[in-house]
């Protein structure tokens, strides 16, 4: 899993991450405080803040069992609080290559659905506008980090 190195060695991983972020003036994609505490790394956010490193305030999170990608994004967009929430998508077109690389049919279908959501579904852009969500990218956050 993506977080396995973080969960296995949070102190070392975070120390190296903060050193690199400081040296290259980069923001850091950071899990929520609750998730960090669950991984035994409760002081990580404070350490990054002391060093002046910008980071995401929260992760978009995962889908609940039985929840479709669309239901997930609608729910999470309505739950957002002020700050930077890092959502990640893996949109893809259906293909034999996608199935071979991903391997798990449920994940393949999720990626195909995420592609449909961002290219064809009018409800998601409408909800983003209605909720007053500002869509940004890491380039903007990186530029803010380097301007500090």
| 10: three-class secondary structure by DSSP | helix
Hey, what are 145's tokens? 């980090």
Own/partner long-range contacts of 39-44 (Cβ < 8 Å, ≥24 apart): 39/3, 39/6, 39/7, 39/10, 40/10, 41/6, 41/10, 41/11, 41/14, 44/10, 44/14
Report whether 109 contacts 115 (CB < 8 A): no
Q: In sequence order, which residues have a C-beta less than 8 Å from that of residue 39 and are 6 or more positions away?
A: 3, 6, 7, 10, 31
Give the CA distances from residue 108 to residues 60, 71, 84, 91, in Å, rounded to whole numbers and listed in that order.
19, 17, 28, 10
Q: Following CA atoms 35, 78, 86, 96 in sequence, which dihedral angle do they give, to the nearest 10 degrees?
A: 100
pLDDT by residue (tens digit) across 11-50? 777 888 889 999 999 998 888 788 788 877 788 888 889 9
| 35: three-class secondary structure by DSSP | helix
pLDDT by residue (tens digit) across 82-140? 999 988 889 999 999 999 999 999 999 999 999 999 999 999 999 999 999 999 999 99
pLDDT by residue (tens digit) across 2-17? 554 555 566 777 888 8
Please state the pTM of the whole predicted model. 0.79
The phi and psi torsions of 91 (rounded to 5 degrees) equal -65, 140
């Amino acid at each position: 899993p993506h977080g396995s190195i973080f969960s296995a060695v949070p102190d070392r991983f975070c120390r190296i991450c903060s050193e690199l972020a400081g040296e290259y003036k980069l923001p850091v994609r950071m899990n929520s405080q609750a998730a960090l505490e669950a991984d035994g790394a409760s002081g990580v956010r404070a350490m990054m803040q002391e060093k002046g490193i910008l980071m995401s305030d929260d992760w978009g999170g995962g889908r609940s069992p039985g929840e479709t990608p669309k239901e997930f994004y609608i729910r999470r967009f309505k739950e957002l609080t002020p700050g930077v929430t890092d959502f990640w998508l893996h949109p893809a077109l259906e293909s034999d290559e996608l199935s071979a690389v991903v391997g798990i049919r449920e994940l393949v279908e999720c990626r195909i659905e995420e592609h449909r959501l961002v290219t064809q579904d009018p409800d998601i852009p409408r909800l983003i506008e209605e909720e007053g969500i500002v869509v940004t990218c890491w380039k903007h956050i990186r530029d803010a980090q380097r301007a500090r």
